[in-house]
Amino acid sequence: MTHQLYIVDVFAEQPYSGNQLAVIVGEDALSSETMQQLAAEMNFSETTFVTSEPGADGAYSVRVFTPAREIAFTGHPILGTAWVIRRYVAPESYDVIRLELAVGQVPVAFETSADGREVAWFIAPPMSLGATTSSEAVAAALGILPEDIDTKAPIQVVSAGTSAMIVPLCSLDALQRSKLDLERFAPLAAQGFPPLVYLFCQQTRNSRNNLSARFFFDAHGVREDPATGNGAAFLGAYLLEHQILPEAEISLRIEQGHEVRRPSLVMLQASVQQGIPQVRVGGYVIPTVQGELI
């Protein structure tokens, strides 16, 4: 059976920005080996594979691959895949698409923003905050100084199927100077810390935005993500836990991707409802390519 290919830019305000995503839709399931080969061929941060028909519960089964491995939870593939389903696979669908991922079912809602544009939002699955570490070790791995790291809150691992280290920085300058060095990260890896590092600071290029971020990860060497939805979700849980921002209900615009020439905008909402953290991550989706596998 033919498998359709769609490429979309997620967390993009205009074409050829944001985070690229390849979405492959088909009635017949491909083998895990073929999926991994196709993800390596695409060479985007992630490629998703989705069934063209939902299951009995109405959710669409989705698998997510980086060029190196399959992963359980990541942000922009959730939004981009749901957008493709709503636009091309099931255009008669309602304003919520449900995806069945390795971490469980994730709903994606579509809302109209104040400027009339459609925003896709996912509700993050339950997240857990884990181990912390010293500024000195992380600074060495990032090629910055220990004093570049903001000590008002810890460097900490946050997890939901996958894990990342959240690193608060003092300035945009420190953010721009950062670069993950896997050799210098090795002592942290030996302690069980993941080579996925989400950096943020409260200085921005654009005055409309609230935070700046970068995300480094290991996929056959260090790569940088133009926009990171799961990292933003992890950040939401982290901000609620450590009360870095005074607002009880957090609503943020996060800029990312400038260092890799793909400016991105990630929207984050977070609050505690009846004692339980609730985190939503949203963004615009723009299509760029449509075709089929041959």
Q: What is the DSSP string of 84-128?
A: HIIIII-TT--SEEEEEETTEEEEEEEEE-TTS-EEEEEEPPP-E
Pair 117, 285: CB distance under 8 Å? no
Q: Is 249 a catalytic residue?
A: no
Catalytic residue among 46, 100, 224, 255: 46
- Backbone angles phi and psi of 279, in degrees to 5: -130, 130
- Backbone angles phi and psi of 89, in degrees to 5: -90, -45
d(CA 135, CA 145): 9
Helix, strand, coil % over all residues of the chain, rounded to 5: 25, 40, 35
Task: Give the catalytic positions in this structure.
Answer: 46
